[in-house]
Amino acid sequence: MKLAPAAACGGTADLTTSLVDFYATRPAPCPYLPDREERKVLAELPPGGGFLLYDRLARAGFRRSHTFAYRPHCLGCHECLSVRVVVEQFRATKSMRRVDRRNAGLAATLTGARATDEQFDVFDRYLRSRHAGGEMVGMKRVDYGAMVEESTVDTSVVEFRDRDGVLRACLLTDALTNGFSAVYSFFDPDIANDSPGTFMVLWLIERARRAGLPYVYLGYWVQGSPKMQYKIRFAPLQSLGPRGWRLLDPSRAAQPPSP
């Protein structure tokens, strides 16, 4: 399946999109809503030019996995909304400030797109504890390495270590010209009560603020999916729709998904 560059990305086509083919995946069970199927439209990010292409596609609601950019393309369903935090307007709530204090002992280090055995140990325990029924459980070390290192864009792993130097959490993130994209995060199940997932998003928002960048991309918010509801807390959020990026109405979180 080929899409015209302007239709895929919005606006005028340029050299970063004019030679790119877009493909549709086969239908598969939806991981977010029951009794639905998902399809995706995707494009391969070329070596060398991947950053320029993905930077443009991210503004059109695409996410990245390995060397591919993808976006939902489900027939008759539009529940997956691409969302991003408006950094300048974001204000942490009281509960978020408590999360910051509980995780004050974690020190962050950017390591580049490099996978380690230490990271994988935390990753594996995280999946088995938090997502035992998920499709990622059972990933091997080589699979984790591919998830981290197969990238043609500006990707980093942020390691969070406690005062004893023990690795407690990791955040995989992509840099964009207008912000950062949170690709994936995981943490030691032993510190789950400290809400390290929330802490890592707060850390990324602050990183964007210090860099003078306006947005943090959080992927897709799916109305009615419990695993996606945490994103609503990082208001104000913008969502991408037919009229472009607009503020997401928080009241939508209390409504059931469309039939």
Residue 13 has what pLDDT? 38
Question: Is 235 a member of any domain?
Answer: no
Listed residues 173, 188, 212: the one ending a domain: 212
Q: Report the pLDDT value the prediction gives residue 132, as an integer from 0 to 100.
A: 65
The C-alpha atoms of residue 147 and residue 51 are separated, in whole angstroms, by: 17
Mean pLDDT computed over 66-93? 94
Residue 239 tokens read as 């969502």
> Does residue 50 sit in the same domain as residue 106?
no
The answer to whether residue 257 scores a pLDDT higher than 70 is: no
Supply the pLDDT for residue 70. Answer: 96
pLDDT score of 227:
79
According to DSSP, residue 51 is labeled H
* CA atoms 243, 244, 247, 252: torsion sign: positive
Q: Same domain, yes or no, for 105 and 176?
A: yes
User: What gap in Å lies between CA 255 and CA 241, rounded to an integer?
Assistant: 18
6 has a pLDDT exceeding 60: no
Q: Which domain holds residue 138?
A: 92-212
Domain annotation covers residue 218: no
Please write the tens of the pLDDT for every residue from 142-168.
999 999 999 999 999 999 999 999 999
Residue 8 clears pLDDT 50, i.e. is over it? no
Whether residue 53 sits in one domain with residue 107: no
* Cis, peptide link before residue 236, omega less than 30° from 0: yes
Is residue 86 in some structural domain?
no
**In the chain, how many domains are there?**
2
For residue 1, pLDDT beyond 70: no
Residues 134, 193, single domain; the answer is yes
Average pLDDT over residues 52-71: 95
Asked if pLDDT for residue 18 goes beyond 80, the answer is no
